[in-house]
Structure 1
Amino acid sequence: MSQFKEHFSKTGSLSATIQGLIVSTVLITASVASIISGPLSDRISRTRTISLGGIVYAAGSAISCSSNTLAQLFVGRAVAGAGEGLFLSAITVYAVEIAPTSARGRLGSMVQLLNTIGIASGYFICYGTVHIPSSLSWRFPFGMQAVVSVVLAIGAPMLPHSPRWLIHVGRHAEAQIAWAKLGVVSADAHKTNENLRRDDAAKSNWWQEAKQLWKSGIRLRTALGVFLMGMQQASGIDGVLYYAPVLFSQAGLSETTASFIASGISGIIIVVCTCFVQFYADKWGRRSSMVRGGAVIGTAMILIGTIYASHASDKPAGRWAIVVLIYVFVVGYATSWAIVTRIICSEIQPMRTRAAATSLGQCANWVVNWTVAFTTPLFLARSASGPYFLFGSCSLLTTVVCLAFQPETRGASLEDVDKAFAELPWRILVAFGSKKTLIMTPAQRTTC
């Protein structure tokens, strides 16, 4: 916004470094706070951690809203990031834990749907306020963030506690009441309670809980979850969302209003796609969604990079091809990685390490998110094609990792996911190949 630039810069423009810092400051503190979120939610509950995060985020948004200097704006963004780091991990764990097995994917996609509605709303709110000639144009969006955060902080404690958390802390009678409030049938609740009692570990301090993440049988799941959460951002999605106006302007839509409209359309597409996935989240496999989605978004990014590198973007057809491919990327991401990555990171862990592992994965997500947010404008200033080749390569690498190391967990209860990790996909493929070789005749082996 020109009003924002004029308020914080005497020259009326902000350097790529300042722009990247303004966007990414929130992510630095979020990554630190997300590490604390898991152990904290194990102690004070998921809902109270969400509420605490909402209070902190509201305070940060209020500071940003009242900013008169860049220093104050950075402080506000940093405080808001700490709040976001607290509540986002707790929300993910809470949503996974309260869902019955048959609806876990659908409930997880509902959380993502609300996120995307917020993103799309942000685009159009900014599009509406950009025409206000005063600083209200950029203060109003920050003020709205503060109001919404207060609503979250007040509403979260009114939700029932996670029954799995209640059992984990020994409050079994309250867990039964919570299951009833959530509408989970008694048979499913009883089975879950029994499995959780077998899985429950002795109370330990934070350091002991952290070491649990890297014990035999758990370390691969932790590494996989952290890798997937990091690569979700390395796909370039936040480079597209944060800097959509810049990307569309680079592709030929130079007017501010056209750029904001194009960004808003991206947000609407994400909302529509997420609504569509609601009906299939528990029918499509987690592994197949990661593999198909990775292939689509990786290929789209590589093609965009190729268009820029070959200078085909100098022609109108090339520029519009880039716009179309960005939308292909957005659709591919919204129907796959956006939905299942956080669900996978949380559901593959046993109860005793779920919150801590989800927090660690979210921390990796924030760190990569910050790197992308800070470096994207600098990278684009030096190379139009480089960022797209990098994002595409990361997505395709993740696809290969999912093929080799990610078992299918759709339809398995949270307490039965151990069975899915008993034999990894790459070992199954190797065993199948060895078996096929053994049953071949000598003549067939000679031919091979």
Structure 2
Amino acid sequence: PSTLSGNTPIRYCLRCEKSLFEMGKLNYFGLRGKSLNWAISVIAGCDFLLFGYDQGVTGGILTLPAFQSQFPTIDPEPKGISVGLTTSQRSTNQGIAVASYNLGCFLGAIIAIFIGNPLGRKRMIILGTAIMVVGAALQASAFSIEHLIIGRIITGLGNGGNTSTVPTWQSETCSSHKRGKLVMIEGALISGGIMISYWIDLGMSFAPGSVSWRFPLALQILFCVFILAFVWNLPESPRWLILKGRDQEAKEVIAAIADLPEDDDYCKNEYVVMKKTVEEMSKGSFKDLFTMDKNRNFHRTCIAYVNQMFQQICGINLITYYAAVIYSGLGMSRFMSHLLAALNGTEYFIASWPAVFLVERVGRRKLMLFGAVGQALTMAILAGVNSQSTYACQITGIVFLFVFNTFFAIGWLGMTWLYPAEIVPLRIRAPANALSTSANWIFNFMVVMITPVAFDTIKHHTYTIFAIINAIIVPVTYFFFPETAYRSLEEMDSIFAKAAPGVKGAFDVVDVARKEPHRYGKNGELLIHYEDDKENGHATTRENRREGSTSSSEPNGLWARQDEETQNVE
């Protein structure tokens, strides 16, 4: 480092990584093609497994006697250990302690807006994961409520940065026909992490003393160590590499991901498309998030932001964070509350897998609409049955908490980590995804913060509010969210460029996406060839290439219409 006077540690790390690449040591553990795609997905999925674990673990320890004794001011039940505090004050304190993690996530996502592009996807993940190790250690060693809250905020900082970056990294390194399935697996692993945390909480509830809650909090570090051990030797985003002028590395990554030689037509075509997109959009800045030129950046940023917001304001985290507390409120014993929470988490995990296999076949829009309709109906039923305290209503309430998780898992769990990354253009992808992720966390914070207070004050009408919100989500999704299935990231740029100018474009982009031909088939085959012709850029279908003819049906000459047999989603 002393020979690099004037360079920051980040620049030094960048030079070290480039040197390793030139020496051939960044070999991705010898993986290529499908196996490399899955390796990327495993690490990305582990981050979301950790994300889910963090969400679920605290709710289970809130009702443990050892935890309540250590932190009496957030005891959810008045048992004499919180003398001097009203029920409302205890509920507020509980909301602050639990939601502080989400506040940290929000801050981490905001910070990622400004350092995401300079650092790159991989180094951002490494930084975020290292911060989470520190935060988890602080939580597990806490002896005061202030100590615990600081640890949760620090953990959130790291997780907020990671959740802003991992979907982008995943989307930019995967083939377009595999991207949806792999990112949806990440979403399924969020519920997997929640399930693990619930069962760990149940098992540790039998342990004596503070180990019953310290061990579940410390277990977060295991996930972090796994991520740090492997992510450093996996590919960086080829689009980010091109953005930084590291074209040869980008070509290597494209070839490795496709398991093809660098001079293969597919690899050349992918590189040309990425290169042209990067060249066109390399001058982006934070203020470009709010521009409305032909790329409609502000429009696309709004869609990404609202999509993430919808995931949280639907009410999922009143169940995720407070499952054991809710079941306890329905008259269940502490053991039965933890058991039901664990079973709920298990069902949640199982229910998340149909979306993995349906996301490309059915499309993003239909799954989101299905989930929102089901969530609205379920919340309405929960509002009704919780208005009475009969045994039948209690059982019905338990069942429909499971049903709500099912609809959410299919429609919205993984979708908001896939959809925003597909909507926004490369120039603003990192800051836009970070901003949209910040929406996820700030509204997550809001829901988790107000849930204890809402249940204490308006009781079952809490569910009524969420039923109305879910009903509003349905038409917004239908009229304003275009389909992205089987679309490359560059195709979405073309779709938004063809939308009507101004506000009108917000209403017709869904129709444009429905009519626009697909460049790739369902198995990733190239249907439209992007010609590297600087004088009169044009595209040709494979049939046209065989005939020696060209087609340029669009004004910019970049895309040609495929034959009528090509199927569009929606």
Give the TM-score normalised by structure 1.
0.90
Out of 368, 375, 388, the position equivalent to 1:297 is: 375
Out of 267, 275, 287, the position equivalent to 2:365 is: 287
Farther-moved stretch of structure 1 (225-234 vs 267-276): 267-276
User: AA paired with 2:318?
Assistant: G
How big is the shift at 1:386? 2.1
User: AA paired with 1:32?
Assistant: L
Q: Give the whole-Å Cα distance in 2 for the aligned partners of 1:250 and 1:74.
A: 25
Q: Residue 219 in 1 paired to residue 298 in 2?
A: yes
Out of 215, 224, 231, the position equivalent to 1:140 is: 215
Q: Residue 249 in 1 paired to residue 328 in 2?
A: yes
How big is the shift at 1:103? 1.0
How big is the shift at 1:183? 3.3
8 Å CA contact 1:305, 1:384 repeated in 2: no
Q: 1:343 to 1:27 in 2, by over 3 A?
A: same
Out of 270, 275, 278, the position equivalent to 1:197 is: 275
Q: 1:188 to 1:261 in 2, by over 3 A?
A: farther
Q: Residue 92 in 1 paired to residue 167 in 2?
A: yes
Partner of 1:111: 186
Alignment of 1:313-332 (within 5 A): 313-332=388-407
Q: 1:127 to 1:109 in 2, by over 3 A?
A: same
Q: Give the whole-Å Cα distance in 2 for the aligned partners of 1:290 and 1:228.
A: 10
How big is the shift at 1:187? 4.3
Partner of 2:104: 29
Structure 1 portions without partners, runs of 5+: 432-448
Q: RMSD over aligned Cα, in angstroms? A: 2.1
How big is the shift at 1:307? 2.7
Partner of 1:178: 253
Partner of 1:232: 311
How big is the shift at 1:425? 8.3
Farther-moved stretch of structure 1 (127-136 vs 389-398): 389-398
Alignment of 1:235-384 (within 5 A): 235-252=314-331, 254-308=332-386, 311=387, 313-384=388-459
8 Å CA contact 1:100, 1:184 repeated in 2: no
How big is the shift at 1:135? 0.6
8 Å CA contact 2:101, 2:156 repeated in 1: yes
| 1:95-134 Cα deviation digits (max 9, x unpaired) | 1111211111101112112222211100011111111121
8 Å CA contact 2:167, 2:417 repeated in 1: yes
Partner of 1:46: 121
Farther-moved stretch of structure 1 (42-51 vs 181-190): 181-190
8 Å CA contact 1:123, 1:260 repeated in 2: yes
SS at match of 1:411: coil
SS at match of 2:359: coil
Out of 476, 482, 485, the position equivalent to 1:401 is: 476
How big is the shift at 1:426? 4.3
Partner of 2:541: none
Partner of 1:434: none
Partner of 1:435: none
8 Å CA contact 2:482, 2:509 repeated in 1: no
Farther-moved stretch of structure 1 (265-274 vs 227-236): 265-274
8 Å CA contact 1:49, 1:90 repeated in 2: yes
How big is the shift at 1:355? 1.0
Q: 1:189 to 1:388 in 2, by over 3 A?
A: farther
Partner of 1:5: 68
Partner of 1:209: 285
Q: Give the whole-Å Cα distance in 1 for the aligned partners of 2:155 and 2:131.
A: 6
Q: 1:360 to 1:318 in 2, by over 3 A?
A: same
How big is the shift at 1:261? 1.3
Which structure exhibits the higher relative contact order, with contacts defined as CA atoms closer than 8 Å and separated by 6 or more residues? 1
| 1:43-64 Cα deviation digits (max 9, x unpaired) | 2211111111010011011011
Q: 1:429 to 1:233 in 2, by over 3 A?
A: closer
8 Å CA contact 2:254, 2:271 repeated in 1: no
Aligned residues between the structures: 424
8 Å CA contact 2:330, 2:394 repeated in 1: yes
Which has the higher Rg, Structure 1 or Structure 2?
Answer: 2
Farther-moved stretch of structure 1 (115-124 vs 314-323): 314-323
8 Å CA contact 2:188, 2:409 repeated in 1: no
8 Å CA contact 1:407, 1:425 repeated in 2: no
Q: Residue 411 in 1 paired to residue 486 in 2?
A: yes
Q: Give the whole-Å Cα distance in 2 for the aligned partners of 1:366 and 1:7.
A: 27
Q: Which has the higher helix share?
A: 1
| 1:173-218 Cα deviation digits (max 9, x unpaired) | 11121123323655444333222222225655xxx62111111111
Q: 1:316 to 1:134 in 2, by over 3 A?
A: same
How big is the shift at 1:159? 1.5
Q: Give the whole-Å Cα distance in 2 for the aligned partners of 1:236 and 1:25.
A: 18
Out of 108, 112, 123, the position equivalent to 2:198 is: 123
Q: Give the whole-Å Cα distance in 2 for the aligned partners of 1:429 and 1:73.
A: 46
User: AA paired with 1:399?
Assistant: V
8 Å CA contact 2:108, 2:160 repeated in 1: yes
User: AA paired with 1:211?
Assistant: K
How big is the shift at 1:250? 2.7
SS at match of 1:283: helix
Alignment of 1:51-66 (within 5 A): 51-66=126-141
Q: Give the whole-Å Cα distance in 2 for the aligned partners of 1:429 and 1:267.
A: 35
Q: Give the whole-Å Cα distance in 2 for the aligned partners of 1:147 and 1:296.
A: 36
Give the TM-score normalised by structure 2.
0.71
Q: Residue 154 in 1 paired to residue 229 in 2?
A: yes
How big is the shift at 1:75? 1.1
SS at match of 1:338: coil
Q: Give the whole-Å Cα distance in 2 for the aligned partners of 1:407 and 1:202.
A: 22
8 Å CA contact 2:140, 2:218 repeated in 1: yes
Q: Structure 1: which 4+ aligned runs deviate by more than 4 Å?
A: 184-188, 201-204, 423-426, 428-431
Q: 1:194 to 1:124 in 2, by over 3 A?
A: same
How big is the shift at 1:430? 10
User: AA paired with 1:195?
Assistant: V
